[in-house]
Amino acid sequence: MAAEGGARPGMRRLHMLYADSLRVARCAALDQLLEAFEADLHLYTATASPDLTFLHAGVVGWKGRAIVVPGSSFSGKTTLVREMLCLGATYYSDEFAVVDNSGLVHPFARPLGIREEGSHAQTKHSAERLGAPSGVRPLPVGMAVICEYKAGARWQPTPLSRGQGALELLANSVAIRSQSRQTLIRVHRLAKQALFFRGARGEAREAAASILNLSSEPGRLETE
C-alpha cells in the first residue's frame, strides 16, 4: 500500500510503502518508492516461491546453454552480462538465476539495472535496447563463473570442482535458510551438469569474450 502524507504548511509530503504492517520505504520521490516496491516484490517472489529456487546471479543464454554468474551486489554481474549481450548472448537476468526441479534455469528478464560510472544510481535498460534478445525457454546450465571485479586484474579463470561451485551457488541462494532441502536438491541438479570457473576480472569486455569462448569449448581450460 502506498499512501501520501499530509499537506500541512511547513510539513514535508512523503510517500509511504507498507508490506502488511512493516514499513518498507518512506521517501519524497514517487519513483524511488516504486523502486523500493519493485525490489521488495522481487525479494518476496524469490523467497516465497515453492517450486523455484532463486540464486542471486546474472544469466545469459549461449548456444543452447545458460551461463550463470553468481555474486553479491556490486560484484559487477550486470556489467558482465551487458558485455556478453553485446557479444551476441541472449538475456536471461541480471538479478536472479531461477532454477526449477530439473536444474534448468528460467528467464527473469527484468530491465538491466546499469550503474553509471562513479555512481551508485542505476538506470534501467531493456535488453532489446542493447540489441539483445531475451530468453523465453528454460536452459540447462553449461557454465557458472564466479568472478569479482578487481581494477587492473587480468582474467585468468581456473576450474573449480563441482562441490566447490555448488557451495558458491548456495552462498547466493535467497531462500536457503527457509527452503534448505529443496534448494540443495535444485542446486545439486544444476551443478551436476555445469562446469565451474573462478577468477578476478578487470575490464568486463575481455572477461565476457573469454567466458563465451570458454563456454563454446570448456574442455580447453579443464585439460590445461
Q: Which residues bind another protein (CB under 8 A)?
A: 22-27, 32-33, 35-36, 39, 42-43, 46-47, 55-56, 72-74, 95, 113, 120-121, 161-164, 166-168, 170-178, 180-181, 183-185, 187-188, 191-192
132/191 with CB nearer another protein: 191
62/79 with CB nearer another protein: 79
Closest CB 70 distance from another protein, rounded Å: 9
Closest CB 22 distance from another protein, rounded Å: 8
Rounded to the nearest 5 degrees, what angle is found at the Cα of 26, between the Cα atoms of 23 and 29?
145
Rg (the chain; Cα; Å): 19
Closest CB 105 distance from another protein, rounded Å: 16
Closest CB 88 distance from another protein, rounded Å: 26
Burial class (CB in 10 A: 0-12, 13-18, 19+), 35: middle
For 33, half-sphere exposure in the C-beta direction (CA atoms, 13 angstrom radius) is: 18
28/136 with CB nearer another protein: 28
Please choose, from the candidates 96, 200, 197, the residue with its C-alpha nearest in 3D space to the C-alpha of residue 148.
200
46/212 with CB nearer another protein: 46
187/208 with CB nearer another protein: 187
Looking at beta carbons, which pairs linking 32-37 to residues 24 or more positions away fall under 8 Å? 33/2, 37/2
- DSSP annotation string for 96-109: EEEE-TTS-EE---
Closest CB 93 distance from another protein, rounded Å: 11
Gap between the Cα atoms of 191 and 164, Å rounded: 10
